[in-house]
A = this chain, B = another copy of it.
Amino acid sequence: MKKLSISPLTRAAFAPFGEVIMTDGARHYPINQGTTERFHALACADTHSKNGQTILSLFRAQPRQLPLPITIMERHPLGSQAFVPLTQNEEDEYLVVVAPAGEFDENKMQAFLCKGLQGVNYAKGVWHHPLIALHKISDFIVMDRIGHGHNCDEITLDGSWVLA
């Protein structure tokens, strides 16, 4: 067994894999006659390849238990994919596991603990584990690509890497 340890999610640590969607440290300014604060452009869709379009979907995820063997990773070669938890509670945590775009290298996997007030936007082609909710059934709004072309690769692992 090879243990994949879990780090806190920060913009700096996640930068090789995409964007962190959170208000902390974001540019913001008042709009709507001062009644609303806009935290601007926390994520940018990269979905235009092959005339793709950008959609919003909702993912309802069952909670997972640790330790969790990593048996599958996936990537979307034609588009970014963003996840934002539908909560205002930072205790609604979830996990992401990523590996750099390009040829998959299990030794370059990294795991991050995301607080409920944090979303992630996987850059096009970045390897990632399917959604890992914790504690309870969790809803996420998802921004990704729809359109022609092959946009999902999966790779299976033997389960010797364990998220713990």
- Interface flag for A56 (CB, 8 Å): yes
In the complex, what residues of B have CB within 8 A of residue A23's CB? 58, 60
5 nearest A-B pairs in the assembled complex, by CB-CB distance? A32-B130, A45-B54, A39-B58, A43-B56, A54-B54
Query: Given known contacts A141-B84, A143-B143, is B59 in contact with A38 (CB within 8 Å)?
Result: yes
Question: In the complex, how many angstroms separate the beta carbon of A131 from the nearest chain B beta carbon?
Answer: 5
Complex CA–CA separation, A52 to B23 (angstroms): 23
- Interface flag for A61 (CB, 8 Å): yes
- Interface flag for A64 (CB, 8 Å): yes
| A61 near B36: Cβ-Cβ < 8 Å | yes
Complex CA–CA separation, A51 to B25 (angstroms): 28
Residues of A in contact (CB 8 Å), total 46
State the A residues within 8 Å of B (CB). 21, 23, 26, 31-33, 35-45, 47-48, 53-62, 64, 72, 82, 84-88, 119, 121, 130-131, 139, 141-143, 146
Q: Chain A at the B interface: mostly helix, strand, loop or mixed?
A: strand
Q: Which residue of B lies closest to A121 (CB)?
A: B56
In the complex, what residues of B have CB within 8 A of residue A31's CB? 59, 130
Seed contacts A35-B131, A84-B84; 11 additional CB < 8 Å A-B pairs: A33-B130, A40-B55, A43-B55, A44-B55, A44-B56, A45-B55, A56-B84, A56-B119, A56-B121, A56-B143, A86-B86
